[in-house]
Amino acid sequence: MRRTMMLSARWGTGLLVVVSVLGTSSCRRNRFPSRGDAAAVVVVVPRNDAAGPPKVLEQEPNDSPEQAQLLDINPDWPVRTVEGDLSGAGKGKDVDVFKLIVPGHKPDPSAQTGTPDSAHADEPRMSARRLALEIASGGGTALSLQLLDDGLKSIETISVEPGEVSGMPNMAGLPGRTYYFRVKALAKPGKAQEPTPTGSPYKLTVQLGDFEISEEREPNDGLETAQTLGLTGTADFAGLFGWQHDQDFYRIPAPEVASALDIELDAVEGVAAGLQVLDGGGARIAVGKGRRGERLALHNVTIPAAVADAGASARSLYVVVRGEAGHNRTQRYVLHLTLGALKQNAEIEPNDNPTNATEVHDGTISGFLPVGDVDFFRYTGAGQRDVSFEVACPSRVRGKLQVVRSSDGQVLGEAEAKKPRQSVVVSKIQSLGDPLLIRLSQGRGDGNPNEPYSLTIISAPSLIQKNGVTNSPSTLNPD
């Protein structure tokens, strides 16, 4: 059994800062920033007269949902902090379970008329309260925190290292529903976990608040739980990389005509983000990865028109935002989406394999190479021509250019930049009337999703025919 004096002595003043960040119901938070390179930061300013959230002690027995300790949320301060302690190890280790009933009435299921691809599919989630959980480990033991619904189905599970703080900042808590929070110790792989003399103390903080309209609501980590966004022209949406490898799925109704999708994701401190565009069946259309603290974008992604008499999956597409490395529970990302016409003289995604190569001719075309990206182009000139290719690389990209004959796969020329911002050139490739395949890649670890490269193609009628006979100028097509 635990006592207040034993537990309170183990906590430093640093955790008071965390609690003040959680208390958003009595704080002020900024709106989404305007589009630009500045990161979208959630600023939380505590009230001058704000006191700490009410604290309660864990009460045993509470090691199962049937014995779960009820946490009463006070409307005047919708935050509760529980001080608990886990004892034992191995099969006999302690598990603490708490429950919360979200104030309000359950929505009427008969009133939900949305279909999987309609704008009303998320109606229950749109009426949800913002449920924020935070777990802090005060001892030498790693802990896990699991959120379960009223059917005891796991919604999300996170872990926290000894002496660290972790949490779930934006879970959707439906009014009238009961949620369970399970806390247990994690044994290190390959080692038997031994209890410390003072046990495994922890603090669990639970808060109820409100979502902004254009804000992510967890769980949305897969196709089945994707959050539907209405998109006409442009839209901005905000979310959080709440834990390691957090990924957020957004469902967008497919356009009535073939279009292009541009996606920009503002930088978040300490997080290397990833972006994906999936078709209605979950197949990947485009992908991009960024570096820690770097803005990420996908440009000119081809989106086919919706097929009216097809299934629901053919009338939707998905945008996936993923934390590839790092997480940040206090700084939101802002997702900028623009749906419009395909841009001319620009690469068309997807073009990461020969089958989807972007068709090009003489002139200049621009494109982007995020980390790990490869772009393919297919050149078809009029007749037999000598063709030269030049790629001007942006910063952080050491370009690799390769030209291949499509008919037999023969490499006709290649060049590689030794440092970023260099141009790479492959000159006077004889097309012999066959299409040419251009492969543009980059050095290991390179990538720049925000600064474009340019590919310039210049050709002239070839002096050598396919059969090796010199052409007469009078028989050539004009250039």
Q: Does 76 score more than 80 pLDDT?
A: no
Statement: residue 116 has pLDDT above 50: no
Instruction: Taking residues 427-449, report their average pLDDT.
Output: 94
pLDDT class of 467 with cuts at 50, 70, 90: low
Last residue in a domain, options 300, 318, 340: 340
Q: Which residue has the higher pLDDT, 337 or 197?
A: 337
Confidence at residue 77, expressed as pLDDT on a 0 to 100 scale: 78
Give me the pLDDT at residue 21, please.
37
The H-or-E segment that residue 6 falls in is helix 4-8
Regarding whether 164 and 26 lie in a shared domain, the answer is yes
Q: How many residues does the chain have?
A: 479
**Predicted local distance difference test score (pLDDT) of residue 466:** 60
CA pair distance 158, 297, nearest whole angstrom = 28
Specify the higher pLDDT residue, 114 or 442: 442
Whether 240 and 203 share a structural domain: no
Do the domain assignments include residue 346? no
Say yes or no: 327 and 432 in one domain: no
Q: How far is CA 233 from CA 57, 261, 265, in A?
A: 51, 10, 17
What's the rounded mean pLDDT across residues 413-434?
A: 94
User: Do 312 and 385 lie in a common domain?
Assistant: no
- Please count the structural domains in the chain: 3
On whether both 42 and 74 belong to a single domain, the answer is yes
CATH code for position 381: 2.60.120.380
**214 domain-assigned:** no
Q: Both 238 and 180 in a single domain?
A: no
pLDDT greater than 70 at residue 248? yes
The verdict on 138 and 184 lying in the same domain is: yes
Residue 219 lies in a domain: no
Q: Are residues 44 and 188 in the same domain?
A: yes
Predicted confidence band of residue 140 (pLDDT cuts 50, 70, 90): confident
Residue 199 has a pLDDT of: 74
pLDDT in tens, 372-399: 999 999 999 888 999 999 999 999 999 9
Structural domain includes residue 12: yes
Give the model's pLDDT for residue 309: 63
Contacts with 46 (C-beta within 8 Å, 6 or more apart), sequence order? 20, 23, 26, 27
Q: Does residue 382 belong to any structural domain of this protein?
A: yes
CA distance 158 to 145: 5
**Spatial CA neighbour of 59 closest among 137, 140, 2, 135:** 2
Reduced to 3 states (helix: H, G, I; strand: E, B; else coil), residue 212 is: coil
Phi, psi of 285 (to 5 degrees): -100, -45
Establish if 192 belongs to a structural domain.
yes
Same domain, yes or no, for 58 and 201?
A: yes
pLDDT in tens, 197-246: 457 899 999 999 999 999 999 999 999 999 999 888 899 999 999 999 99
The answer on 267 and 358 residing in a single domain is: no
Q: Is the pLDDT of residue 12 over 50?
A: no
- pLDDT over threshold 80, residue 368: yes
String of DSSP letters for 114-161: --TTSTTTTHHHHT-EEEEEEEEE-SSSEEEEEEE-TT--EEEEEEE-
For the residues 126-142, what does the mean pLDDT come to? 91
Q: How many other CB atoms are there within 10 angstroms of residue 376's CB atom? A: 21
Read off the tokens for 79: 């935050």
- Report the pLDDT value the prediction gives residue 123, as an integer from 0 to 100: 66
Q: What is the pLDDT of residue 391?
A: 98
Higher-pLDDT residue of 141 and 333 is 333
Residue 222 lies in a domain: no
Q: Which of 145, 179, 209 is the last residue of a domain?
A: 209
16 and 116 share a domain? yes
d(CA 240, CA 126) in angstroms, rounded, equals 17
In a domain, 217, yes or no: no
Domain end (from 209, 243, 269): 209
- What is the domain range of residue 446? 354-475
pLDDT at 326: 95
pTM for the whole structure: 0.81
Residue 51: predicted pLDDT: 58
Q: Is the peptide bond before 219 cis (omega within 30 degrees of 0)?
A: yes
**368/327 same-domain check:** no
Residue 2 has pLDDT above 60, yes or no: no
Average pLDDT for the chain: 82
Question: pLDDT value at position 187?
Answer: 72
Q: What percent of the chain has pLDDT over 90?
A: 63
